Structure 1
């Protein structure tokens, strides 16, 4: 058997002898008996088939093979210590990679300051943000391409575990100088009479469908968009009106569109933190979740405690 069969204890013992050039000092350093050190060194020489030390009753010296083996053993021990430190840092959440798939408004508005502060405090962590519509957030989790997702509640499969984060009211997005901009608030029935610009497979669409069903109204004209930015551009050009969560409003500033509160009913988009129920989260993911919830509390929003499932809907809520 060769070097690969030697144990950590054997390597440590030999390096101590080689560095001290003394069995007595090595034994004291290792807090063990000198006889045990001698037996260990002889066992190493026997396994390697070569003498490592020249020794007499008074002196210990390294053979050429002993000097080379000392350097090799030290490099192995140093690499093992470095790997152990790296793993300890990983377990503490100080290092690692985290992939988060989130709704566009979350990626653009909510997460950047939280991620920035988190990375400032955890220099060994790498975070990748993926800008996704609601269905793709779930798809990323199911495929293992994302560790965490932030999406709207509703239509969540049983394999995905969620925790409610925040509720944002939906607002009407209107072209500049549109007749509805003269009002302080807009009703869903008033919107139903206008062409509606939407992301048909986005997280807001189910809320729109339920709201219009609730008031027994039917939108006769849809204009499909691919992103919040394209919604802003289409609405600004006068091609229709739209509905977005209030947190997306900062993303519309470039376009000159106007927003108004929506009533009769007031509808909220409930956002949740999502993860695959059968997948163990990394320490850095758990640490980021703590920071995310701290940020919600600091902003005056109390994250829900515990896990929820699909029964918690983000549907219309009528203001009283």
Structure 2
């Protein structure tokens, strides 16, 4: 056997392993689905490459040679690894394995994404996820520059290289203390914020543009009593009696609702549009496409129950 690298093809290794397993050229040819002369030619080419016989054969018996006995476990391992590798590639191409990076608003990272990932992994347990949470502006930038495969966020501005697929409308509610007179109301108009201290979200959040737009539409000049750094901090400020806030329903998962109540906001009814955001022209990994398809197809567009005291 030459000391240089041995060049045996997968076809030759498979033919060799089948003859060794079945002890017959005829049976091995039938198993592989080739003619016996073709199989014999394949084995002969392998022997020429090795410079040694793989089988000792006569008219009635086929016996593996010492070189064949040495080659057999190596060939079996190579074929197993080849099958395993291409099985993994097939699973990747089908979207049942691979890694996907999802960027989500903090409220969605708490209320929607974990359940979506859990449901997906029941069918595709080998899929792996990296979850990023960020305000809308940072999140959309992560999708645009490729740090995230896709985002779950509000509708992006039209000047960005992003595509938006609508998922749900996240209705706005008023958040107040349970002992507030407003807590017992079935709904509250937006004009209430003209009479009570208003706790606003940060300007770079997905909530602030929506509340600002409603106030502009209603002709309300509202000066925030506080600009809360986060949704959870907003709940703390309200609990301390420092004002009221307008929040999307899904954001309530980030709030300690003990002693707080959410009431629907009306006149007008307003909601935060939530959808899947991808970068135009980017090829997503198959697992990412499969996850998006399942989220869009299986999402329950129900109206989320509003926590009450």
Farther off after superposition, 271-280 or 193-202: 193-202
Q: What is the SS of the residue equivalent to 2:221?
A: coil
Q: What does 1:257-276 align with in structure 2 at a 5 Å threshold?
A: 257-276=260-279
Paired position in structure 2 for 1:241: 244
Give the Å deviation of 1:204. 0.8
After superposition, the Cα gap between the structure-2 partners of 1:22 and 1:70, relative to the gap in structure 1 and judged at 3 Å, is same
CA–CA distance in structure 2, aligned partners of residues 35 and 199 of structure 1 = 78
CA–CA distance in structure 2, aligned partners of residues 239 and 8 of structure 1 = 74
User: For structure 1, which runs of at least 5 residues remain unmatched after alignment?
Assistant: 302-320
Q: What is the SS of the residue equivalent to 1:40?
A: helix
Give the Å deviation of 1:179. 5.8
Give the Å deviation of 1:203. 0.3
Contact 2:6 2:49 in 1 (8 A): no
Contact 1:150 1:274 in 2 (8 A): yes
Q: What is the SS of the residue equivalent to 2:102?
A: strand
CA deviation string 1:167-200 (max 9, x = no partner): 1221222245446547554333431452423133
Farther off after superposition, 129-138 or 213-222: 213-222
Task: Could you list the structure 1 runs, at least 4 aligned residues long, displaced by more than 4 angstroms after superposition.
Answer: 1-4, 178-184
Give the Å deviation of 1:59. 3.6
After superposition, the Cα gap between the structure-2 partners of 1:186 and 1:113, relative to the gap in structure 1 and judged at 3 Å, is same
Give the Å deviation of 1:250. 4.3
CA–CA distance in structure 2, aligned partners of residues 40 and 277 of structure 1 = 49
Paired position in structure 2 for 1:150: 152
Give the Å deviation of 1:274. 1.1
Are residues 1:20 and 2:22 paired? yes
Q: What is the SS of the residue equivalent to 2:299?
A: helix
CA deviation string 1:52-88 (max 9, x = no partner): 3333454433232211112111111111111222222
CA–CA distance in structure 1, aligned partners of residues 259 and 166 of structure 2 = 32
Contact 1:2 1:47 in 2 (8 A): no
User: For structure 2, which runs of at least 5 residues remain unmatched after alignment?
Assistant: 305-309
Q: Among residues 61, 64, 67, which one is paired with 1:65 in the alignment?
A: 67
CA–CA distance in structure 2, aligned partners of residues 96 and 39 of structure 1 = 40
Farther off after superposition, 67-76 or 117-126: 117-126
Are residues 1:123 and 2:125 paired? yes
Farther off after superposition, 42-51 or 183-192: 183-192
Q: What is the SS of the residue equivalent to 2:297?
A: helix
After superposition, the Cα gap between the structure-2 partners of 1:199 and 1:256, relative to the gap in structure 1 and judged at 3 Å, is farther
CA–CA distance in structure 2, aligned partners of residues 159 and 296 of structure 1 = 25
After superposition, the Cα gap between the structure-2 partners of 1:105 and 1:236, relative to the gap in structure 1 and judged at 3 Å, is same
